Amino acid sequence: MKVYIPSPLRSYTNKANLVEGEGASISEILGNLDKAFPGIKFRMIDEHGRIREHIKLFINEDEAKNLTVSVSGGETVHIICALSGG
Amino acid sequence: MTTATKSTGTKTANLFVGTRKGAFVLKANTDRTKWDLSDPIFLGHVIHDFVADTRAPGVMLMAAKTGHLGPTVFRSTDGGTTWTESSKPPAFDKVEEQAAEESGEHKPELVGQTDLSEKPADAAGKAKRAVLRTFWLTQGHDSEPGVWYLGTAPAGLFVSTDNGDTWSPVKGLNDNPSYTKWFEFGETPDGQFLHSILIDPRDKNHMYIGVSIGGIFESIDKGENWSPLNKGIAADFLPNSDVEYGHDPHCVVLHPANPDRMYHQNHCGFYRIDRPDNQWIRVGENMPEGIGDIGFPVVVHPTNVDKAWVFPMDGTEVWPRTSPEGKPAVYVTTNAGDSWKRQDKGLPREKAYLTVKRQAMTSDHSNPIGIYFGTTGGEVWASADEGETWQCIARHLPEVYSLSALES
C-alpha cells in the first residue's frame, strides 16, 4: 500500500513523500515503516503507543484514531501534521 | 546554558545559540569584538538546548522538538559538520493499561488547586507520562566520558552513556515514590520543566536538579534517591508558602571553583547557599529598590566564587517578564549577593522590553571573561569585559532559547 509522508518527516525517507507500506494494521505499518526509516515512528507515536496530539492518520479518507485499526492492501495511508503556529 | 564551559586554552570563542526555530553558531575573532553568524542548523526545529562536550572535542548535542512531532536529541561527533538523531530518544517507561488506570492519567493541576495531603505517594511510574519536550542537557562527570544527562517536560531525568545516542530513564527520580507529590503542583505555561542538572565535580554521585514547578532536589547516590533542598525559598504563589517542595526554581548553578557554593534564580527571588548548610538565603533582597530580584538566568564567574550576574525582569502584577521600566541591565555582585551593581553601558537606554530565558545567558573562560545573553526578540548581546560594556552581536534571529560558549 501507499503511505504519504508529510514534509516534516521526509528527512527520514530521503525526502520521499510517498513510500511503500506493509501491514494489516496501522500499528504494523508504522512498525515496518520504522524498520525502513529508523526513528520515524517515535516522532508520531509516544512511548505508550498513543498518536501524538497534533498528528492524524487517515486510511483513505477515514481517520484512524488508534493503532489497532485494520488496513487492507489496497488502501492508502495518509500521515497528517496539524497546521498551526506562526 | 547558564554555566560556563571550560576553556580549551585558546581564545577564539564559539557561541552556540538554540532558538525556537533552529540553531546557530557565532564565532568571534580573538579579541571578541567581531562575530560571524553561521547559517542555520535544523532551521525550523525547536532547539531548547545546544551544548558542546568539554571532555570530548567535537561532540555536540541538541535538545530538539520539531513542530508537532515528538521530541528528540540531535548529536554530532565531528564538531557540527554532520548530525544524526539519537537512535533511542528519551522516553518514559511504557506502563500497562491497568496500572495507568489505577493511578490516573498524568494531568498536572493548576497551582493553588492542589491539596498535597491527598496526593497518592505511590502513583509515580504508573501514570502514562510521555516526554513532550527535551529541555536541558548536562554533560556527566569528567570521570565518565560519554555520559550525559537530560531534563524533560513533563519533569523527567534521563541518562545516556554513549554520547547521547541512547537514553534511559533515571528511575530513582522518574519512578520515585514521591514523584507525584513533589511535582504535581502544576506546570508553567510552557510545561513542567526539569532543568539545572548539576553534577558535583568532586563526586560523580552527587547531583542536583531543579523542577519548575517542584523545587530543587539533591541526590548523593547518582540519582537513586532524592531529597528536597528548598528551605528558605519563598513560594508566594502557593496558599501556604512554607512548604518543603513545590517551589519554582528558574535556574540553579553550582560554582565550579567551590561546588559547595550555589546560586539560584527563583520565581520568588534570588538566593545563595553554602553547603552543607540547607538554608537558602535570599540575597536578591539586596537588589536596588524598583529593580527587584525576579528573572530567569544566573551566571557565575568561573573562578571568583563571589561574583555572579543576573538579568532582572519585571515580576509585578501580571508578570511581564521584561526589563524593569523598559531599561535593560545586567546586575553583578562581587560579594556573593550582599550588594549589586548595574551594568548597562551599550544596552538600550529606554523603551526596550527584553526577556532572557533561563538557558539564554552564559559566560566564557577568557580573561576577562565574556558574558552573553540572548533575548526572546532574537538578539544576542555580548560583553568582553565582564559586563562593563555591551554590544549586540546578532539581530533578527528567532526567539533565543539557549546560549553556551566554548573556546577553541
Domains and CATH numbers, chain A: 2-81 (3.10.20.30)
Answer yes or no: is pLDDT of B35 > 80. yes
| pLDDT lower than 70: segments of chain A | 84-86
Mean pLDDT of B362-388: 96
Q: What is the mean pLDDT of chain B?
A: 90
Residue A85's pLDDT is 61
Mutate which of A12, A35, A47, A54 to test chain B, going by most B C-beta atoms within 10 A?
A47
Per-residue pLDDT, A84: 65
The pLDDT of residue A54: 87
Cβ of A54 within 8 Å of Cβ of B68? The answer is yes
Give the ranges where A1-86 is alpha helix by DSSP (H). Answer: 26-36
Pairing outcome for strands B227-228 and B249-254: unpaired
Percent of the residues in chain B that have a pLDDT greater than 90, as a whole number? 78
A52 interface with B at CB cutoff 8 Å:
yes
Mean pLDDT of B176-196: 88
pLDDT in the model for residue B257: 95
Report the pLDDT value the prediction gives residue B355, as an integer from 0 to 100. 97
Query: Do the chains contact at A39 and B85, CB–CB below 8 Å?
Result: yes
Q: What is the pLDDT of residues B237-274, one digit of tens each?
A: 888 888 999 999 999 999 999 999 999 999 999 999 99
Which chain B residue's Cα is nearest to A48?
A: B94
Mutate to test the interface with B, among A48, A68, A84 (most CBs of B within 10 A): A48
Res. B2: pLDDT tops 70: no
Name the nearest CA neighbour of A9 among B167, B153, B67. B67
What A18-23 contacts at long range (C-beta under 8 Å, 24+ apart), as own/partner pairs, is A21/A77, A23/A71
Placement of cell 505517594 in the chain: B121
User: What ipTM, to 2 d.p.?
Assistant: 0.84
Using alpha carbons only, give the angle B181, B125, A42 rounded to the nearest 5 degrees.
125
Q: What is the pLDDT of residue A86?
A: 60
The tally of CA atoms less than 13 A away on the side-chain side of residue B22 is 14
Q: Is the dihedral of CA B123, B152, B250, B307 positive or negative?
A: positive
The answer to whether A42 contacts B91, with C-beta atoms less than 8 Å apart, is: yes
By CB atoms closer than 10 A (0-12, 13-18, 19+), residue B151 is buried
pLDDT reading at B182 higher than 90 = yes
Mutation target to probe the A interface, by most A beta carbons within 10 A, among B69, B126, B128, B174 is B69
- Give pTM, 2 decimals: 0.90
| Distance between CA atoms of residues B128 and B105, nearest Å | 6
Closest CA to A42 of B23, B166, B205: B166
Strands B371-374 and B193-199: unpaired
Q: How far apart are the CA of B250 and the nearest CA of chain A, in angstroms?
A: 26
Flag whether residue A33 sits within 8 Å of chain B, measured between CB atoms. no
Share of chain B above pLDDT 70, in %: 89
Say if residue B139's pLDDT is above 80: yes
Size of interface A-B (CB pairs under 8 A): 54
What confidence tens digit (pLDDT) does each residue in B295-352 have?
Answer: 999 999 999 999 999 999 998 878 889 999 999 999 999 999 999 999 999 999 999 9
pLDDT at B94: 85
Q: B10 pLDDT exceeds 50?
A: no
Question: Is residue B39 very low, low, confident or very high in pLDDT (cuts 50, 70, 90)?
Answer: very high
Q: Mean per-residue pLDDT for B27-51?
A: 95
The reply to whether A18 touches chain B by the CB within 8 Å rule is no
**Is the pLDDT confidence value at B55 over 90?**
yes
Q: What is the mean pLDDT of residues B168-192?
A: 89
Question: Which chain B residue has the Cα nearest residue A39?
Answer: B87
